[in-house]
Structure 1
Amino acid sequence: MGKRGVKAKASSEMVTSNCSENETRCDAEDALSTLRDDLIVDKVTSNISKVLDSKIHEVIKPINELTEKFDNLIERMGTVEQRVSDLEDVTATSEPRIAALETQLKKAMERLESFENQSRRQNVRIIGLKEGAEGRAPVDFFKKWIPEVLGLQQGAITVDRAHRTGPPMRLTGTEGPRAVLVRLHHYTDTQKILQAARAKCTVNTEAGKVSFYQDFSAEVVRKRKESVNAREALREAGIKYSFLYPAIIKIFNPDGTNISLATIQDVKDYVSKLPRPK
């Protein structure tokens, strides 16, 4: 081989060596670039994960709290439902007993009211008498005054007690005199007074117009007040009737038959069928 061949061979070897070094350098640079990219990706991913974890924690925390509350609520609702079911069972077994007790209580109240009104049978309630007209001896006053205004025989009645009912007018602010409650010794005296008062219709005295009524319990008075308008309609229609205890309206028909209206609804139904005045 000549000198030119040796130089060519050496030049070729140098080129080959330079290419190998360049390739190695390129590979190293690629590796470094890939490593750098991986580090960047890892860092970005780590940051994103931290941010997401923080945000998700903020969302999950109230959700967990709500879930806990819902669980507690469901548990309490289950307890309530069980209690309601137990109460329903108890009520179902108690209803017959309660109904029986209500029936017994109603009967007891009716008997009590009946006893109260029986104890009032000897009382007469006087409305419209001027305050103070009876003076300081009301028993002596009414023993003499009642027969005079009703046209009864003197000394025909025996009065046990007499007094005004309710608080004084200055305390209540109401107008008009308070009612007078007169307790007769005999029930027959009460009947005489009420019959005489009905016969006179209007009782006028020096102290003004007065009215005599039988004394009833508050419940009977309430029941009787309910039929005031109905009784007025019966009178306007020319219907003959009597007003019986406790609040029964007995209708006397022209054909001789009678009808008893025991409840206010019966009375209203009967009045609604009456012909209207022209």
Structure 2
Amino acid sequence: MSLDEFFAHPGSSKKREMSKRGVKAKASSDLVASNCPEKETMCDAEDALSTLRDDVIVDKVTSNISKYMDIKISEVIKPINELTEKFDNLIERMETVEQRVSDLEDVTATNEPRIAALETQLKKAMERLESFENQSRRQNVRIVGLKEGAEGRAPVDFFKKWIPEVLGLQQGAITVDRAHRTGPPMRLTGTEGPRAVLVRLHYYTDTQRILQAARAKGTVNTEAGKVSFYQDFSAEVARKRKESANARKALREAGIKYSFLYPAIIKIFNPDGTSSSLATIQDVKDYSM
């Protein structure tokens, strides 16, 4: 309520105030009249009335301002109280989260040595598993380039006769346990070229004889196409050996003597009689030919 509205609509409370003012004014007038001349008494009475009126106005204005301020402050305090409550909830939740994070950090710090030990054990176990896998492949020979279907419907009998003939083995027959193409048929994959053949020999010595004869002969040309003989390795060892293929080719072109050791180690024979072993692809890159 504005001051104009307040004074434009006087109520019962205003009448009571005016009545009180009249009583006070009369009392003051009587008091002044008994002690002062008539003119002075009237002037003093008017001053007293003016002062009393000003006091009443100030009191009323102050009261209205106080009420107005109380209303406005209550309107502001309400959303502030709501925000304060929300902040309190957020602080409580953050404290809970911080405690949980602290607990997790403690658990992680405790488990780090155990995890490191488990990783070491797992690495050793994987290395042993890979070693076992490659040992189980020692009696395998991988033949690449043989025309699809050349082995017919009896691949074991075919390779038992075909391998000694194309390699010129003179130390008797070989014993073949299994023979099959690797991977799905070409019509399903859409790839070009024949699939590799995996031949499982009964004796490891036969495997060694075949690989030595293939290396000595170099290129093996047959009626079924140009073929190559390789030792069979696991996928991981095959990947490592493939990564160093370009480096071995560069060594051969440079006339540097080297040997290729299992699993994928290049042993270079230096002119001064020493040797260098390149076990990783980074070692190959760092080696200066």
Same fold at TM > 0.5 = yes
1:180-201 Cα offsets, whole Å, 9 max, x none, are 1000011111111111111122
Contact 2:256 2:269 in 1 (8 A): yes
Offset of 1:155 from its aligned partner?
4.8
Offset of 1:25 from its aligned partner?
11
2:207 and 2:186 map into 1 onto residues whose CA distance is 28
Taking structure 2 as the reference length, what is the TM-score of the superposition?
0.74
- Bigger shift: residues 215-224 or 3-12: 3-12
Task: Verify: 1:142 aligned to 2:156, yes or no.
Answer: no
Offset of 1:255 from its aligned partner?
2.7
Q: Does the C-alpha gap of structure 1 residues 140 and 86 become closer, same or farther in structure 2, counting only changes over 3 Å?
A: same
- Bigger shift: residues 134-143 or 232-241: 232-241
Offset of 1:54 from its aligned partner?
6.1
Contact 2:179 2:200 in 1 (8 A): yes
Counterpart pick for 1:248 among 240, 265, 270: 265
Offset of 1:208 from its aligned partner?
1.8
2:22 and 2:72 map into 1 onto residues whose CA distance is 74
Q: Does the C-alpha gap of structure 1 residues 39 and 106 become closer, same or farther in structure 2, counting only changes over 3 Å?
A: same
Offset of 1:213 from its aligned partner?
0.8
Q: Does the C-alpha gap of structure 1 residues 151 and 26 become closer, same or farther in structure 2, counting only changes over 3 Å?
A: farther
1:148-199 Cα offsets, whole Å, 9 max, x none, are 2212238521110000111122222222211110000111111111111111
Taking structure 1 as the reference length, what is the TM-score of the superposition?
0.77
Counterpart pick for 1:24 among 14, 32, 41: 41
- Bigger shift: residues 250-259 or 160-169: 250-259
5+ residue gaps, structure 2: 1-17
- Bigger shift: residues 12-21 or 255-264: 12-21
Q: Does the C-alpha gap of structure 1 residues 231 and 258 become closer, same or farther in structure 2, counting only changes over 3 Å?
A: same
1:241-268 Cα offsets, whole Å, 9 max, x none, are 1111001111112233222222222221
Offset of 1:222 from its aligned partner?
1.4
Q: Does the C-alpha gap of structure 1 residues 24 and 244 become closer, same or farther in structure 2, counting only changes over 3 Å?
A: same
- Bigger shift: residues 64-73 or 256-265: 64-73
Q: Does the C-alpha gap of structure 1 residues 66 and 228 become closer, same or farther in structure 2, counting only changes over 3 Å?
A: farther
Q: Does the C-alpha gap of structure 1 residues 134 and 17 become closer, same or farther in structure 2, counting only changes over 3 Å?
A: same
Contact 2:33 2:41 in 1 (8 A): no
What percent of counterpart residues are identical? Answer: 91
The number of aligned residues is 270
2:12 corresponds to: none
2:77 and 2:91 map into 1 onto residues whose CA distance is 20
Please list, as runs of the form range in 1=range in 2, the aligned pairs for 1:1-278 lying within 5 A after superposition: 56=73, 59-153=76-170, 155-270=172-287
Equivalent position SS for 1:40: helix
Q: Does the C-alpha gap of structure 1 residues 132 and 52 become closer, same or farther in structure 2, counting only changes over 3 Å?
A: farther
Offset of 1:14 from its aligned partner?
21
Equivalent position SS for 2:37: helix
Contact 1:144 1:155 in 2 (8 A): no
1:43-95 Cα offsets, whole Å, 9 max, x none, are 88788777766665555444434333332222222222222222222222222
5+ residue gaps, structure 1: 271-278
Offset of 1:122 from its aligned partner?
0.2
Q: Does the C-alpha gap of structure 1 residues 107 and 27 become closer, same or farther in structure 2, counting only changes over 3 Å?
A: same
1:73 and 1:147 map into 2 onto residues whose CA distance is 82
Structure 1 stretches of 4+ moved >6 Å: 1-51
